Structure 1
């Protein structure tokens, strides 16, 4: 019998109560504070949630009310979400870097009555918006630094609410148990807002049953052990963080670890050495860039050693993937490489002890995927959707493959419809979009099948292959298939390319807009004595255009001729979520970008040598300005630069 079917563990707070009873002194959560890891035992964890929940009750928070958390990953923000759920309320995490308009929309749409903010920065943001949030009653803050002179009647400290809850418990000793017992598996636990790639974010209602069933299914096919360390660093508003830091951690008794701040994640990762990690492609691409940059900065001897063992590892990984045996010389070389290169690289990345690592949220380029696999990192693909409680399919250790996302997790059904769209049915399918019944009917069929919006198929081994978003898959003018994400991932393997947007649907060739990686291209320019003052200045350098042209040619060498990038343009600014060009999870909003850069697309296919671009830039406080410029368009039609570079 699954946990979701047991009456005493039907909700996430009930799982927390179980963990506190079974392992009261075991580490439930840690946080890095002022350079020191602080541990909350499962009992401490439970007590904090209980006291804060009862404190919320004294503030009038009850069943069906919504509580939003905003800030970096902090134990108190997780405690607050579970406290709201204990009372029958709903947690609504929001992205901490959201601009004002995004926050107002989500908080109003969700009817949030309590905001729990990490620090002064987030409190200031909430206070500046309170007149536009009619449902808001309280703003609770965790870090009190800088807030001593604030006297707004809405403000309460986290500790004061928790202390109020302790006093309430002394006067009403039975309330906690009674509220806990009222919780049901099908109660809504959280509303996770989608990234909004095609429009306004939608509020995905996930029940306790959704989250617990998903965690249990994942545990059936992965090597997860009680007490495993998990790094909680992903945005709390992303459903993947909730699935692991709350769902998985509570079901399997994992220890969630919160880094000190976003800037120290890599250092904290090395200190912690987690047993497992989930990261979106952007993180893996950044890690690869760091490794490549350090290799380039090393002495000539070290560069040659690294290059030799990297090539050996990737060659052996391809042979293993093809089921071919390694020669004695290759096995010896890998053993030497483990001592000289592979082990030290894993240690630098903080992954020496990781038994499994997953990439998810968007496709990861096969070249990046194979690099980490070849260096001894058990990187695997996971596929999911917010509406599916984060998980649909994942890869087993022995079935890692850059071209698939593995098999569907247990307990769910997946099929491909006549249009090639992936559909699924199971206990992980959400309860509907909050206040959007028509959108729910469009997404879930009358028979209960969830439309993912992704195009895919099953290969001969029964593994699910995702091609692209169904709406993004198109055809070139000659009828050849055009999947932009596949081409973009090839391009982003380069450490000098941060983002790429490919065009080609119903066109005669593929073109791409490129956003350079400021750090790596800047370092490259400085070594060559190229002076620059800004991102725009650097991207306009002819030498940088030639560099990116060579990188595109390398990517073209691995693509069929018809899918090779023939023309490209270097953007004069990074693609930003604040400018609606990307989602908060770093997915390109293709429709918006195509409209915003229509002049670039017209120039690409009209044969122009440049494009006049006017873009609107949005600041965090909502102010806007425009940027006018003329940007050169470059051609890249041959594989020869790639061969010369190789």
Structure 2
């Protein structure tokens, strides 16, 4: 049982391992280390500064920015005096902050830099209670004279003076904070409306962090690279809750652009990324191999064939013949080892992916080259850790077995229910929504459809509300699982995003977003000229490339009795990339299918009407805040479908 709080865990590390590294940050190309004792002193002063500024127990403070040591310290400082940090997505536009700030009645904000300060100042008219804003990085802010705006240095200096006058203040506040007190609030991505504030206690977060650490035998010697948004509970658990529970080192990259370099320099032993990151890494490898010489390509293909055949069995501890062991060892010397090093994953002991399904080929690739990649299942409401894959039983089509303290139940409709010590305390100011997902008996309704297989592993099919039925046509009544279809399409390196339609229709149609880098590289090798994304997306050669991917997915679906009706009959390649700034994706890059269906209704109608082309004009928002229009005549093409392949009994 976790009967402690995050500030107490910090003080425990500072007392027993004062000179051990707690955090590292790369600044101007050099890694700077913060020890546990230095971090504790920083948190002590920052907490006193916040109290002096008027932050009270139970109140909320938003924290916005990349992973930065002083932002981590800010969360600990707020928790030390009983306040509640609310991390928000740093890439969100100012308008997206208005609801959470007003919903949580936030008067205090701690942000990273000028970009985030500008957002806070922009929304002040809509959030008049936002009185104090502190920033970490002063660059570009010298001439800002806004009321209530100060640097974290000023806050820390104020707190240091306060602690000198009241030396027992901090320790007394930490003692007052109890494990069942609220530790943090995470806002959901809001795929179907306003986001909901998920309330977690010190107990729920630290209990799940400890359960995950026990499952994988994590130690203080682990190295972690924190590069995903801190507002995402996945990153928060791995680089905050588990960091404090285990006491390992969290490394903060210099910027988003240096992550790959920093990954190689740090060589993490414990690594976490959504499938899109692993897809991007593999795409970069395949692009480089396409450009390599003939001998190198031949060696890569030859040894990768061996790796795919032998590697997963080897990772699972299975028996491998002497000849295969020798060939694999040679491949490890000339291909797999250098490849792991190029990816920055040469020291990884445990790697996890979650958030979306990962393609079996992608999953097998990493395990084949000796990376212990596994899947886990969880959500914001469950504090992440629900199911995890053991080292010797990682499967591409499941998400693992229930971890410590978790009970699973599958309803008659196929929805997964969970009972766990890590369940949310509730949704903030939303008792109706809380009652909808939490039963009086303590079961949480996940909204996911799935089942437990014969080996005790959980298999997820789709979101329960998204699983629909085809109506009319030859597949009348067939199950339609859009996310399952979309994920199978996204397994191809040339497809970045996919959106499938079919519920209450007679067939399945899909929108496709190409991966601009992968398809662009392919086009250059084919000597195919193009002038940007829109032009490339509509090339007949690109349509042929994507049609081949779609038809491979259809062939796979034909082998599944339940989902063979979900084969894609028609598709189009969108003229623009789906973007969170345009409302088409959530900040965690989940497709907002309903919104996209409405926004591009003319395209959906054209596909089902049998049209060969459709003109579309779309307003887009650029990174600098300007808006523009992208217009194109989109081609709509048919894809070959296959008869259901009956499985032998």
The two structures have a TM-score, normalised by structure 1, of 0.95
Q: 2:302 aligns with which of 279, 300, 308?
A: 308
Deviations 1:520-548 (A, max 9, x none): 22222223333222211111211221222
Specify the alignment match of 1:632 in structure 2: 635
Deviations 1:398-431 (A, max 9, x none): 1101111111111122211222111111210001
Distance (whole Å) between structure 2 residues aligned to residue 470 and residue 563 of structure 1: 16
Distance (whole Å) between structure 1 residues aligned to residue 633 and residue 103 of structure 2: 40
Distance (whole Å) between structure 2 residues aligned to residue 301 and residue 553 of structure 1: 32
Q: 1:136 aligns with which of 130, 141, 146?
A: 130
Matched-pair contact (CA < 8 Å) for 1:99–1:620:
no
Specify the alignment match of 1:414 in structure 2: 408
Matched-pair contact (CA < 8 Å) for 1:100–1:620:
no
Deviates more, 1:272-281 or 1:538-547: 538-547
Distance 1:638 1:434, change over 3 A: closer
Q: 2:610 aligns with which of 607, 612, 631?
A: 607
Deviations 1:576-616 (A, max 9, x none): 11111111111111111122222222222221112333434
Distance (whole Å) between structure 2 residues aligned to residue 64 and residue 185 of structure 1: 14
Specify the alignment match of 2:445 in structure 1: 451
Distance (whole Å) between structure 2 residues aligned to residue 426 and residue 499 of structure 1: 33
The answer to whether the aligner puts 1:573 opposite 2:565 as a matched pair is: no
Deviation at 1:275, TM superposition (A): 0.7
Q: 2:462 aligns with which of 464, 468, 479?
A: 468
Deviation at 1:323, TM superposition (A): 9.3
Q: How many residues align?
A: 633
Aligned to 2:487, the other structure's residue is in SS state helix
Instruction: Point out where structure 1 has 5 or more consecutive residues left out of the alignment.
Output: 640-646
Matched-pair contact (CA < 8 Å) for 1:421–1:470:
yes
Deviation at 1:481, TM superposition (A): 2.9
Matched-pair contact (CA < 8 Å) for 1:429–1:450:
yes
Deviation at 1:196, TM superposition (A): 1.4
Deviation at 1:437, TM superposition (A): 1.0
Deviations 1:256-311 (A, max 9, x none): 11111111111100100011111011111111111111111111111111112112
Distance 1:44 1:318, change over 3 A: closer
Distance (whole Å) between structure 1 residues aligned to residue 229 and residue 634 of structure 2: 34
Aligned to 2:557, the other structure's residue is in SS state coil
The answer to whether the aligner puts 1:29 opposite 2:23 as a matched pair is: yes
Distance 1:318 1:256, change over 3 A: closer
Deviation at 1:334, TM superposition (A): 1.2
Specify the alignment match of 2:214 in structure 1: 220
Specify the alignment match of 1:553 in structure 2: 551
Distance (whole Å) between structure 1 residues aligned to residue 387 and residue 312 of structure 2: 23
Alignment of 1:484-495 (within 5 A): 484-495=482-493
Distance (whole Å) between structure 2 residues aligned to residue 252 and residue 233 of structure 1: 19
Specify the alignment match of 1:123 in structure 2: 117
Specify the alignment match of 2:645 in structure 1: none
Matched-pair contact (CA < 8 Å) for 1:101–1:622:
no
Deviation at 1:551, TM superposition (A): 2.8
Alignment RMSD (CA, Å): 1.8
Q: 2:427 aligns with which of 424, 433, 442?
A: 433
Alignment of 1:183-198 (within 5 A): 183-198=177-192
Deviation at 1:327, TM superposition (A): 3.5
Alignment of 1:47-446 (within 5 A): 47-317=41-311, 325-446=319-440
Deviation at 1:514, TM superposition (A): 0.8
Distance (whole Å) between structure 2 residues aligned to residue 266 and residue 336 of structure 1: 27
Deviation at 1:234, TM superposition (A): 0.9
Distance (whole Å) between structure 1 residues aligned to residue 178 and residue 316 of structure 2: 48
The answer to whether the aligner puts 1:589 opposite 2:589 as a matched pair is: no
Deviates more, 1:16-25 or 1:485-494: 485-494
Distance (whole Å) between structure 1 residues aligned to residue 626 and residue 129 of structure 2: 25
Matched-pair contact (CA < 8 Å) for 2:315–2:392:
no
Distance (whole Å) between structure 2 residues aligned to residue 537 and residue 12 of structure 1: 52
Deviates more, 1:160-169 or 1:332-341: 332-341
Distance (whole Å) between structure 2 residues aligned to residue 301 and residue 510 of structure 1: 43
Deviates more, 1:621-630 or 1:373-382: 621-630
Matched-pair contact (CA < 8 Å) for 1:100–1:622:
no
Distance (whole Å) between structure 2 residues aligned to residue 572 and residue 289 of structure 1: 22
Distance (whole Å) between structure 2 residues aligned to residue 621 and residue 330 of structure 1: 54
Matched-pair contact (CA < 8 Å) for 1:285–1:492:
no
Instruction: Point out where structure 2 has 5 or more consecutive residues left out of the alignment.
Output: 559-563, 643-649
Distance (whole Å) between structure 1 residues aligned to residue 60 and residue 221 of structure 2: 31
Deviation at 1:620, TM superposition (A): 5.4
Distance (whole Å) between structure 2 residues aligned to residue 426 and residue 490 of structure 1: 31
Distance (whole Å) between structure 2 residues aligned to residue 285 and residue 360 of structure 1: 13
Matched-pair contact (CA < 8 Å) for 2:29–2:254:
yes
Deviation at 1:432, TM superposition (A): 0.6
Specify the alignment match of 2:525 in structure 1: 527
Distance (whole Å) between structure 2 residues aligned to residue 135 and residue 205 of structure 1: 22
Distance (whole Å) between structure 2 residues aligned to residue 253 and residue 121 of structure 1: 32
Distance 1:555 1:310, change over 3 A: farther
Distance (whole Å) between structure 1 residues aligned to residue 114 and residue 312 of structure 2: 51
Specify the alignment match of 1:643 in structure 2: none
Aligned to 1:544, the other structure's residue is in SS state helix
